[in-house]
Amino acid sequence: MTFPPDLLPLLLRTSKLAALTGAGVSQESGLRTFRDAQSGLWAQYKPEDLASPQAFARDPKLVWDWYAWRREAVKAVRPNAGHYALVEIEKRIPQFTLITQNVDGLHRFAGSKNVLELHGNIQRVRCSECYTFAETWGDDSESVPKCEVCGGLLRPDVVWFGEALPRDSLEAAVEAARTCEVFFSVGTSGVVQPAASLAYAARNRGAVVVEINLEPTPLTPKADFFLQGKSGEILPALVKAVWG
């Protein structure tokens, strides 16, 4: 695989790199995107009907079952070469921050350490009332499990439509974007806010923006480098080309 000649020495001397990943990275592991998962029993529902505080208040069992099904789907997949390449990059860049819109936890599974999960993690479950995390819960087919602390209904620790992103994670992501020397945008459409604004925040502060995606996005005209293709192919090749 051939890369722009000025990209390789740039990465070799970079000490601060931030990377944003989106659904395209998980798709390469065989995990369907949020909207593509509306099939079978769930085809009759819109994602908004299953992923909002209003939906949970209206029919908590329906929402709980939907996420239980999705958790099982995540357990069936494994990180791909793109995930592992990001682990290798983290080992070589002194200050590396991985920001992800994905909730599947595959980056941590692969071995990434400094991960900011902007939209939460589907494998974590917390109380909808007191926010206490639950390590275990009973699977009663008739009802939603309840918090052992306050008795509130348990829910997935993900950001639903209409909910704010975790403040600490978002602030850390913005700081990483504003202070990095190079910003990677990988497998993301570049339209979901506020994550989509991070590449522009990095660019406005003088960072070099590298986009890796199957198709051009709204970010593409502003990126310094656009590497078109699968992240699972491009990232490992990039690691090999830069660091051997």
How far is it, in rounded angstroms, from Cα 29 to Cα 23?
A: 10
How far is it, in rounded angstroms, from Cα 136 to Cα 125?
A: 9
Q: Across-strand partners of 55?
A: none
Report, as residue numbers or ranges, the catalytic residues.
Answer: 119
Burial bucket for residue 155 (CB in 10 Å: 0-12, 13-18, 19+): buried
- 156 alpha-carbon distance from chain centroid: 15
One DSSP character per residue, 129-154 reads: TT--EES-----TTS--B-TTT-PBE
